[in-house]
Structure 1
């Protein structure tokens, strides 16, 4: 590698690092103070960069919001995959409940960032809402797969119930007692799965 190539590679790495710093600051501020309430200028000041640098990475604030939610979605999907690894459906749901309970107990927890974003962006055609809706469809499909593997009679109905319980637990963790979320959610998940089993079957777990 010659000096010019080395310099270009260094700039690319530096650019990627700056982009992550912007995303880190945006994620903290968007979640704590709200997306609409957090200006691009506030993020720029927090990161300690110029406006030119900011807009080199994100042409608009909406583009930054989309990137923030996409990164969060990737993290949540990884967490679900980890909860499912080596577990049957019921064990995976317990692990997911435990993860939500753990998140609820962290300082600064303000509920589900996707529900929060949807409340701030009512236009269903807005790029931010498209990311929110895409991730919620993915989450619903993950519950649908778990419900089917648990052997329930009506997997789509049970998946909807699991999704509602997940959303309710997020709100409860923010407005209620976060310490009780994991146990209550795990119990509710199990009750829904048991109620959904066919009367003539003990229910299978996969």
Structure 2
């Protein structure tokens, strides 16, 4: 997929005020890092695809590592904004969780799907103390806490454990949906979600 075409399909949160050139660099990295892998995409390719000069790139980011951390941080902000929007628009916790599962399944079906960007990034940066891994860890902790709070609102007897199950089911569906049978992966995620939600008190 061409970068400019892909940029029109990426679901980004409303931009924080940032320089147009810096925004183009981040938006380009958001596509290329996800499509081709973070380590496979060099600075020169990002500079060319985002139509900026080398001096402009280094003025804003100084090094590729800084762009990588901003990329994965921006991905987290996007996921968080999307889930918070689902929660805000849902009349209750159960509907919010079902909408969350539906959004994951829709992601698996999206053209250009390449699996979970956070798991992909963690695989490329195995050192647990690397800044990228710290963002991934914080992202997953936020995810579990958010899902647990929704499950607690439903009266689930062990919301923390159930949140872990849902997140791991999501991980498996994203991995299986990319590497294997996307229909089977989505169906399995739906079955697990139904079982977890059915465990809630008064369901």
TM-score range, shorter chain: 0.7 to 0.9
Q: Which residue of 1 aligns with 2:129?
A: 125
Moved more, 184-193 or 76-85: 184-193
Q: Which residue of 1 aligns with 2:97?
A: 93
What's the RMSD between the two structures over aligned residues?
1.8
Structure 1 residues 50-199: aligned runs within 5 Å: 50-85=53-88, 86-179=90-183, 181-195=185-199, 197=200
On the 8 A contact 1:110/1:174 being kept in 2, the answer is: yes
The structure showing larger relative contact order (alpha-carbon pairs under 8 Å, at least 6 residues apart) is: 1
Q: Which residue of 2 aligns with 1:6?
A: none
**Alignment gaps of 5+ in structure 2:** 1-16
Deviation at 1:176, TM superposition (A): 2.8
Distance 1:110 1:154 in 2: 32
Q: Which residue of 2 aligns with 1:44?
A: 47
Q: Which residue of 1 aligns with 2:9?
A: none
**Alignment gaps of 5+ in structure 1:** 1-13
Answer with 1 or 2: which has the greater Rg: 1
| Residue aligned with 1:144, SS | helix
TM-score, scaled to structure 2: 0.85
Distance 1:181 1:56 in 2: 43
Q: Which residue of 1 aligns with 2:7?
A: none
Number of residues of Structure 1 aligned to a counterpart in Structure 2: 186
Q: Which residue of 1 aligns with 2:37?
A: 34
Distance 2:202 2:162 in 1: 17
On the 8 A contact 1:102/1:182 being kept in 2, the answer is: no
Distance 2:67 2:45 in 1: 13
Change in CA separation of 1:100 and 1:15 when aligned onto 2, cut-off 3 Å:
closer
Distance 1:181 1:149 in 2: 27
Distance 1:92 1:181 in 2: 21
